[in-house]
Amino acid sequence: MIKRIQRLLTVIVVPGYVVMAICLLYWLMLGLNLLEIRSLAINLIIGFVFVLSAAGALTGTWVKMFYAKSLQDNLDNLNALNTRLRRQRHEYLNEMQVVYGLLELGEAEEALTFLKPVYDETARTGRALKTAHPAVNALLMNKMNLAEERHVAFYTEISANLSSAAMDAWSLCKILGNLIDNALTAAEQDEEAEVHLEIREDASECEICIYNNGAFIEEKDRDKVFEDGFTGKSSEGHGFGLGIVRNLVRQSGGRIELESRQGRTMFTVHIPKRSDTE
């Protein structure tokens, strides 16, 4: 499905740029007096065609670069989660056979020792499957695995399933993905790297809170971190993607807050809930 969308966008984008190039070539030749066309109507038509082509080509390019790519990322995360769950189920059955055999032999201590990593892995997967959005669950599982690979302790506390948030799953994934990636990068600066994610709600809004124990962000830089491409020694790892996060939050009518002190930098996203009529 996503590949079809990408092919469709290519069909729209490529001709759009070709038409734009032809229009520019027409105006260049006209400016060099290589053409003798002086009809205002024709020039207006060429200008109208150029504007339409530019709008279609640029919109298609934006959708292809951001929306289609995000859809593909979400699909990849879902496929990875599905593969992991299937593999875990297969391994679980084999491991239960081992536990059963140990218990039959009276080796209860050995069975407990064997079960601990099995339980830890199952519990870790369960922590990611607590929201109402499969794409968000898959993203969280992916980030948990990434944190493990980067030797960052990743703690989650999810008490809201985000089903009432006035935001689609794609936007939630963009927000969570950018904030978690930045937190992991910042936390790696500490010897005992930690990232904490809390998702909660009250009567009027859902909250996503992400904090880490990396380097703090100075007061003078706290507005700048939301600017595209901002970097700084004291805020390394926080400057990329935060502008996208802020724009998505504002579009939903929400807000994002930043608190930072030595040993703790926290971003809190406030997303309003949908009204009952929506």
Q: How confident is the model at residue 85 (pLDDT cuts 50, 70, 90)?
A: low
Indicate the residue among 128, 161, 181 that finishes a domain: 128
Sign of the dihedral defined by the CA atoms of residues 213, 255, 222, 74, in that order: positive
Based on the fold, state whether residues 96 and 168 are members of the same structural domain. Answer: no
277 domain residue, yes or no: no
213 domain residue, yes or no: yes
Of residues 81 and 207, more confidence is placed in: 207
Based on the fold, state whether residues 124 and 137 are members of the same structural domain. Answer: no
Number of domains comprising the chain: 2
Reported pTM: 0.62
Based on the fold, state whether residues 20 and 82 are members of the same structural domain. Answer: yes
What per-residue confidence (pLDDT) applies to 264? 87
Based on the fold, state whether residues 89 and 142 are members of the same structural domain. Answer: no
Based on the fold, state whether residues 23 and 119 are members of the same structural domain. Answer: yes
Model confidence pLDDT, tens digit, residues 133-189? 888 888 888 888 888 889 898 888 888 999 999 998 888 988 999 999 989 988 887
N-term to C-term CA, the chain: 28
Of residues 125 and 278, more confidence is placed in: 125
User: In this structure, what token pair is assigned to residue 48?
Assistant: 């109208």
170 domain residue, yes or no: yes
Based on the fold, state whether residues 119 and 244 are members of the same structural domain. Answer: no
Does 72 have pLDDT greater than 80?
A: no
What per-residue confidence (pLDDT) applies to 100? 75
CA pair distance 78, 94, nearest whole angstrom: 25
Does 87 have pLDDT greater than 80?
A: no
Q: How confident is the model at residue 88 (pLDDT cuts 50, 70, 90)?
A: low
Indicate the residue among 101, 128, 155 that finishes a domain: 128
Based on the fold, state whether residues 8 and 123 are members of the same structural domain. Answer: yes
CA pair distance 94, 209, nearest whole angstrom: 38
256 domain residue, yes or no: yes
| Domain span holding position 151 | 131-272
CATH at residue 248? 3.30.565.10
205 domain residue, yes or no: yes
Based on the fold, state whether residues 19 and 110 are members of the same structural domain. Answer: yes
Model confidence pLDDT, tens digit, residues 24-65? 888 888 777 777 776 778 878 888 888 888 888 777 776 666
Query: Residue written as tokens 């690979």?
Result: 149
44 domain residue, yes or no: yes
Which conformational region is residue 34 in: left (phi greater than 0), alpha (psi within -120 to 50 degrees), or beta?
alpha
Based on the fold, state whether residues 111 and 173 are members of the same structural domain. Answer: no
What per-residue confidence (pLDDT) applies to 237? 42
Based on the fold, state whether residues 93 and 182 are members of the same structural domain. Answer: no
53 CB contacts (<8 Å, ≥6 apart)?
15, 16, 17, 19, 20, 23
Based on the fold, state whether residues 221 and 244 are members of the same structural domain. Answer: yes
Indicate the residue among 74, 101, 128 that finishes a domain: 128
Instruction: State percent of the chain over pLDDT 70.
Output: 76
Based on the fold, state whether residues 267 and 143 are members of the same structural domain. Answer: yes
Q: How confident is the model at residue 17 (pLDDT cuts 50, 70, 90)?
A: confident
83 domain residue, yes or no: yes
278 domain residue, yes or no: no
Candidate from 41-45, 63-67, 244-248, 272-276 with smallest mean pLDDT: 63-67
**Helix (H, G, I), strand (E, B), or coil: what is residue 277?**
coil
What per-residue confidence (pLDDT) applies to 234? 43
